[in-house]
Chains A and B, each alone.
Chain A
Amino acid sequence: MYQDVILDHYKHPHGRGLRDGDAEVHHVNPTCGDEITLRVKYDGTTIDDVSYEGQGCSISQASASVLNDLLVGKELGEAQRIQETFLELMQSKGKIEPDDAMEEVLEDAVAFAGVSKYPARVKCALLSWMAWKDATAKALSEEAKTA
């Protein structure tokens, strides 16, 4: 479960810290108390930044770091595809063995495949991804309001 990639991201998180954003959300995992505050910044439909601050286990923290790596600079549509693929992997109960195609989409995030075998930890891995999805919806609706 604790792949080196996960431990590396946990010990040296990428993009951590809160920066300027279009929308902010705060998500918690009530079963274990993991928390994340996450901001998204868009430039049109391109993700300009995903910044975050939080506390929690290595899985939730590493997952946020991987998310930052994967999504910043991407077009919204592609980011959503990555998020959905990650969700599918995490909900697979360990039954999906990531193939080359999946690895191409998820890059470092395929390291979380093992986590999907532990029902208690899946929510940890998904915390930042759900927060990102939520923040994105919020940012887009704010934009729609001001447009």
Chain B
Amino acid sequence: MPGLLDTEAIRKDFPILDRLVHDGKKVVYLDNAATSQKPRQVLDALNAYYERHNANVHRGVHVLAEEATELYEGARDKVAAFINAPSRDEVIFTKNASESLNLVANMLGWADEPYRVDHETEIVISEMEHHSNIVPWQLLSQRTGAKLKWFGLTDDGRLDLSTIDEIITERTKVVSFTLVSNLLGTINPVETIVRRAQEVGALVVIDASQAAPHMVLDVQALQADFVAFTGHKMCGPTGIGVLWGRQELLEDLPPFLGGGEMIETVSMHSSTYAPAPHKFEAGTPPIAQAVGLGAAVDYLSAIGMDRIAEHEHVITEYAVKRLLEVPDLRIIGPSTAEDRGATLSFTLGDIHPHDVGQVLDEQGIAVRVGHHCARPVCLRYGIPATTRASFYLYSTPAEVDVLVEGLEHVRNFFG
């Protein structure tokens, strides 16, 4: 199949992919939308950091503190370059995408005009959001009285933008949506939404958790105001996320968490704050995790995000074709590989996804089952849950075949 990466070479970088489970079956890891596996280069960077450079950052004058600071801030440079940020100071490290999104929601909740979200304003999200891009906005809405509105979904798993002008209005203060759905796999039309948001002067927040690992992410091209993503889905360790925000917004908006590192001066009466990004990074940050993310970014960049996207597109085309050959299988989401990522959710007759997942696991195949933290999507399509197979740069067509055989076995087992 043209367009595929040299997975034989890539898989050598991921020790866990050689793992045998359930009496000697090779693990087939198809749960990449939940978290990716980590290449040796990232594991080595974590080890080297702890074995040779560990110290707290931004304080201390000793050599270890200086090295740790350089490594931590170096990771920020790498991430800034990876997402084409105009300035490294626009990259805030958080612990995950949920924290990034909660941070934005709280900045806006405490902000002064013109950013303030209050009872006279509206927040727009979509029905395909992960809970992490729903609940922070529900909380903000409940606390401020702002009205929460959302884009619905079409039958084939796309955002229904037919009434975009009624949903995004002059009252809209913020529009927050996912670039790629973690359940449906849909890639959303950013430009259409951003254009309308800009017309009414609303801020745009993009959840790029399922995009950053899989495609070129250029925050300038997206024209959003904030972009959130997490490290562990893109070959990095857990415990590190990113919030990118436009510089002038980060200067104007108030901090959320207070503590060490985010201040300029502190007295018992009041404090002044450090400039961004430090204003938003209270306390000792996840240093090793940031270093690990830096190594992950190096790893992905060396292969090339455009090449990874192409590889996944080829895998997705093949997986869609093969899955549709399985009787009674219904893809929840776009049924072609166009404008969709390498995440495929499906139902299999009336066999419950838990049973599908369990029988696949017995064959060494790791998929995710359930509502995938996107319960409104399941409600929309009248299903309790789905089985989800999600691919990455090390996935192979042979693994798609194993999945399809596994599903045949599931059907026979419960048939």
Give A residues with C-beta under 8 Å from B. 1-2, 7, 10, 31-35, 55-59, 118, 121, 124
**Nearest A-chain residue to B415, judged by Cβ:** A11
Contact residue range for chain B? Answer: 10 to 19
* Given A2-B413, A33-B370, A58:B384 Cβ within 8 A: no
Question: When the two chains form the complex, which single residue of A7, A10, A32, A118 contacts B370, counting CB atoms closer than 8 Å?
Answer: A32
In terms of DSSP, what is the predominant structure of the interface of chain B?
helix
Q: In the complex, A33→B247 CA distance in Å?
A: 42
Given contacts A32-B369, A59-B354, 13 further A-B contacts (CB under 8 A): A2-B358, A7-B414, A10-B414, A32-B353, A32-B384, A33-B375, A33-B385, A34-B354, A55-B384, A56-B352, A57-B355, A58-B352, A121-B354
Q: In the complex, A7→B385 CA distance in Å?
A: 20
Shortest distance from the beta carbon of A88 to any chain B beta carbon, whole Å: 23
**Nearest A-chain residue to B352, judged by Cβ:** A57
Is B337 an interface position by the 8 A CB rule? Answer: no
Q: In the complex, A108→B369 CA distance in Å?
A: 27
Shortest distance from the beta carbon of B381 to any chain A beta carbon, whole Å: 12
Is B371 an interface position by the 8 A CB rule? Answer: yes
Q: Mark B398-415, 1 if CB is under 8 A from A, else 0.
A: 000000000000000110
* Given A56-B352, A121-B358, A35:B384 Cβ within 8 A: yes
| B413 CB contacts on chain A under 8 angstroms | 2
Residue of B354, B370, B375 most packed against chain A (CB within 10 A): B354
**CB distance B358 to A32 under 8 Å?**
no
Residue of B352, B359, B370, B414 most packed against chain A (CB within 10 A): B352
Q: In the complex, A2→B384 CA distance in Å?
A: 21
Q: In the complex, A58→B414 CA distance in Å?
A: 9
Q: In the complex, A10→B352 CA distance in Å?
A: 11
Q: In the complex, A124→B354 CA distance in Å?
A: 10
| B359 CB contacts on chain A under 8 angstroms | 2
Is B378 an interface position by the 8 A CB rule? Answer: yes
Q: In the complex, A31→B375 CA distance in Å?
A: 10
* Given A33-B384, A57-B352, A1:B369 Cβ within 8 A: no
| A10 CB contacts on chain B under 8 angstroms | 414
Q: In the complex, A34→B352 CA distance in Å?
A: 9
| A34 CB contacts on chain B under 8 angstroms | 352, 354, 384
**Nearest B-chain residue to A11, judged by Cβ:** B414
Give B residues with C-beta under 8 Å from A. 352-355, 358-359, 369-371, 375, 378, 384-385, 413-414
**CB distance B378 to A33 under 8 Å?**
yes
Residue of B353, B358, B375, B414 most packed against chain A (CB within 10 A): B358
Shortest distance from the beta carbon of A52 to any chain B beta carbon, whole Å: 16
**CB distance B370 to A31 under 8 Å?**
yes
Residue of A10, A32, A55, A118 most packed against chain B (CB within 10 A): A32
| B414 CB contacts on chain A under 8 angstroms | 7, 10, 58
List 27 A–B pairs whose Cβ atoms lie within 8 Å, in order of A's numbering. Answer: A1-B358, A2-B358, A2-B359, A2-B413, A7-B414, A31-B370, A32-B354, A32-B369, A32-B370, A33-B370, A33-B371, A33-B375, A33-B378, A33-B384, A33-B385, A34-B352, A34-B384, A35-B384, A55-B384, A56-B352, A56-B354, A56-B384, A57-B352, A57-B353, A57-B355, A59-B354, A121-B354
| A118 CB contacts on chain B under 8 angstroms | 358
**Nearest B-chain residue to A55, judged by Cβ:** B384
Shortest distance from the beta carbon of B374 to any chain A beta carbon, whole Å: 12
Q: In the complex, A1→B370 CA distance in Å?
A: 19
Q: In the complex, A118→B358 CA distance in Å?
A: 10
Residue of B353, B355, B370, B414 most packed against chain A (CB within 10 A): B355
Q: In the complex, A23→B369 CA distance in Å?
A: 32
**CB distance A58 to B355 under 8 Å?**
yes
Q: In the complex, A1→B22 CA distance in Å?
A: 13
Shortest distance from the beta carbon of A6 to any chain B beta carbon, whole Å: 10
| B353 CB contacts on chain A under 8 angstroms | 32, 57
Shortest distance from the beta carbon of B282 to any chain A beta carbon, whole Å: 32
| B355 CB contacts on chain A under 8 angstroms | 57-59
Q: In the complex, A33→B413 CA distance in Å?
A: 22
| B384 CB contacts on chain A under 8 angstroms | 32-35, 55-56
**Nearest A-chain residue to B383, judged by Cβ:** A33
Shortest distance from the beta carbon of B50 to any chain A beta carbon, whole Å: 31
